[in-house]
Amino acid sequence: MILEARELTLRAGKSVFPVWRASLALETGEKLAVVGESGGGKTSLAWALAGRPLPGQARVSGSVEFDGMELFSLPAAERANLYYRRIALVPQNAQNSFHPAQPLWKSAREVAALASSEALGRDAVLERLEAGGRALDLPASLWLQFPHRLSGGQKQRMALLLAFMNHPEVLLLDEPTNALDELTREKTAAYLACHLAETGAGAILFTHDIGMAERWADRIAVFYRGQIVEEAPAHMLKTPLHPYTRGLVGASVRLGDPPLSRDGIPGQATPLSGPPGQCGFFERCPTAKEQCAWSAPRLHERGSRRVRCIMEV
């Protein structure tokens, strides 16, 4: 196990819990996808798995272990020393995180310097980026530009390449392809899978796109209101057990679908505003029963799956 969260709970403000007792493990070389709607807590979980909760959020309980080290107990300098070297997080809207007043290759040089005592010159930096750039349609000339000259999609792919640059063992990717068109998204997902196969790194993809998760991941965890509600090998999500997963699968649009052929989930995900006293999906669940209103279901093992629903015990 290269990365493992145990019973991780985060609090924002006095009583909002973006993540509630989440346990999740990533094997070396594994591709895991965490899927769910916006507002369900995926981004909070992504940052906490890197040992850096989002501003305004704090860990209340639980742990995150990376390669046997408890991240929240490490001195800040030691933890910082892991980033972009052994763990890389590509945040949502990573394209906005480049320094606006320096050409992009200098950002790449800063990332390379985190893993090397040798200062790289411009040509050496461009050489390091060449193969990945070719695979992602990013000519070397783009790295000589300032960020404002490039499209959001180009910068997003550049942010991905920077995350890969030092071959970290774990990649945390928060909606890394949301600024890309369908074809570039597929190409990027293929490159990502290829890079992971070559380096043996593990990755967690945080996404609302269940179709992409199914195609890309080995295993999928469905995340709703700060909790995992179902976890299964990716191919098993074709027969989802949890009503929320069924709703997500039913709402996902695939090429070739007739217009308006998909059902959505009524309502929207909101963060937990206190310890759960009932099923978090109760108000939106089409199959809710009376007892779902007063008992908070636990995650139960069902063969190679885990599911949080009283109907599946």
Residue ranges that bind ligand SF4, judged by CB under 6 A: 243, 279, 281-282, 285, 287-289, 292, 297, 309-311
Query: SS3 letters for 181-196?
Result: CHHHHHHHHHHHHHHH
**By C-beta, is 90 or 220 nearer to ligand SF4?**
220
Tokens 């600024």 appear where? 179
Q: How far apart are CA 15 and CA 13, in angstroms?
A: 6
Q: How far apart are CA 263 and CA 278, in angstroms?
A: 25
Q: How far is the CB of 125 from ligand SF4 (least distance, A)?
A: 50
**By C-beta, is 172 or 309 nearer to ligand SF4?**
309
**By C-beta, is 17 or 281 nearer to ligand SF4?**
281
Q: How far is the CB of 286 from ligand SF4 (least distance, A)?
A: 8
Q: How far is the CB of 227 from ligand SF4 (least distance, A)?
A: 11
Q: How far is the CB of 242 from ligand SF4 (least distance, A)?
A: 6
**By C-beta, is 5 or 292 nearer to ligand SF4?**
292
Contacts of 148 (CB under 8 A, 6+ apart): 100
Q: How far apart are CA 75 and CA 80, in angstroms?
A: 9
Q: How far apart are CA 138 and CA 147, in angstroms?
A: 13
Q: How far is the CB of 84 from ligand SF4 (least distance, A)?
A: 39
Q: How far is the CB of 288 from ligand SF4 (least distance, A)?
A: 4
> Cα 65 from chain centroid?
17
Polymer length of the chain: 313
Strands 227-233 and 219-224: antiparallel
Tokens 């995992």 appear where? 228
**By C-beta, is 179 or 288 nearer to ligand SF4?**
288
**By C-beta, is 253 or 313 nearer to ligand SF4?**
313
